[in-house]
Amino acid sequence: MKKLYTILTLLMCSIVSAQDVTFDNQAGAGDGAWETTTNWIEGALPTSTQWASFTASATLSSSQTIKQISLRGNSVTGLGTLTFDGGGQKTLLAAANPGDLHLFDVPVIINDVANAGTASTFQLNGATKVVTFNKSLTVTTETILRGASTTSTFNVNGPVTGSARLTLSGSVYNFPASSNNSGFTGNIYANTVSTNAPDIFTSSSTEGGFLNTGSTFQSNNTLSKLHLNAVNIMKGNIEVQNATNLLLDVNANQSSVGHVTIGGGILTIDVDAGVTVLSFANSSANVWGAGSIAITGFKEGVIHFGMDNTGLTAQQLSQITADGVGAGQTLALNLSGYLVLASSLSTDEFALSSAKRISYPTAVEGNIYFSKPINSVAVYSVTGNKVMEVASKVNALEALSVSKLRSGLYFMVLDGIKTEKFIKR
């Protein structure tokens, strides 16, 4: 029995040692090179299936692949490339002292081919810790950057590339002027750790440098914050999922942000006084939940959706509020798609768009007529309440009587697709 116990003990020790190797740089007396085997306690370099632990900083001169890494205030620098293949496992960046820095001054690739379908997590343990990706970060499989405290920080100083989802959980995230995510085709997902929501600062000097066209920034947490501090760095879509909130802090002009989707939460758009253009794509085709958009720093002629007055549906407009909009006032899109007070729209402005319209006239007392066959019409007040709905499954509608409506501005949705406005005299 004793002999069997000894064999099992040796076997267990061999398994543990096969999964974990430690770089101590010969207790500080080595040459600092990753590739020098004697700098590793075990006398051998880590393999692609092993966890590499560091008690000293290392210089990497070649391409190396490991499963996981544990840094304790150390750095990996040099001309080599470091690839991780440890999906589903936490890459621990655990520092012993407050303010410890963890530096990757080499290109980092997340390529979990051995664990397809699972995410690789960089877990920063403890408060006031800093992780810096100083070179490129390539995300070919799902990657999570997770901080345990709002005083912990991730710096992404170089380009982010790849097509997999990048999740930012808790902590503070800095994408400075040197960052460039324009070649990244995946989505960025903001998520909470415990009660800690991510606070993201971006000031890339490259157009589309935070998120480019076709990608989506998704928020699914208590209150994530995204600060746009440079011109035209956000071209991706914005999606506020479920009953969660997102603060979009706009401090520089953004001329081509993607479309907006709201779930059950609140998108707060805080527009700096110096911003003159904040342009979102036509979002009328997006299905919104019961959530809302709240705008602070609102000025007419700054924010627009699409290029004309069809960029939002009447229902979507009713879900937008803004500071400076008094009781009884509502928001509308003008002919150029700019968000303005509905009271600033004139009868003449409606008439200018008659060539594009299906319905006519734009100001009416009795009947509205249609220039093409229409099967259904839903009419909404400026507060978003449906006041009339007519549908025909047999003959197309040629006209709609609005004589019983009160005077004012209304929106109508034709065949559930096209939105047009009219004034009831």
Express as a percent the part of the chain with pLDDT over 90.
51
pLDDT for the residue 220: 81
pLDDT reading at 1 higher than 70: no
Can you tell me the distance from the alpha carbon of 60 to that of 58, in angstroms, rounded to the nearest whole number? 6
142 in Cβ contact with 119 (< 8 Å): yes
Identify the sign of the CA torsion 368, 370, 375, 377.
negative
The two most distant CA atoms of the chain are separated, in Å, by 101
Nearest to residue 395, comparing CAs of 374, 372, 416, 412? Answer: 374
Confidence tier at 3 by pLDDT (50, 70, 90)? very low
pLDDT reading at 145 higher than 70: yes
207 in Cβ contact with 232 (< 8 Å): yes
* Residue 40 CA from chain centroid, whole number: 40
- CATH tag, 349-424: 2.60.40.10
- Asked if residue 361 has a cis previous peptide bond (ω within 30° of 0), the answer is yes
Specify the DSSP class assigned to residue 288. P
pLDDT reading at 72 higher than 90: no
The enclosing H or E element of 58 equals strand 58-60
pLDDT reading at 47 higher than 80: yes
Question: Does pTM top 0.75 for this prediction?
Answer: yes
Question: Cα-atom radius of gyration of the chain, to the nearest Å?
Answer: 28
pLDDT: which is higher, 187 or 49: 187
pLDDT: which is higher, 13 or 386: 386
Strand pairing class (68-70; 418-424) = unpaired
331 in Cβ contact with 340 (< 8 Å): yes
**Summary mean pLDDT of the chain:** 85
Amino acid at 400: L
Highest mean pLDDT among 62-71, 96-105, 156-165, 221-230: 156-165
pLDDT: which is higher, 108 or 10: 108
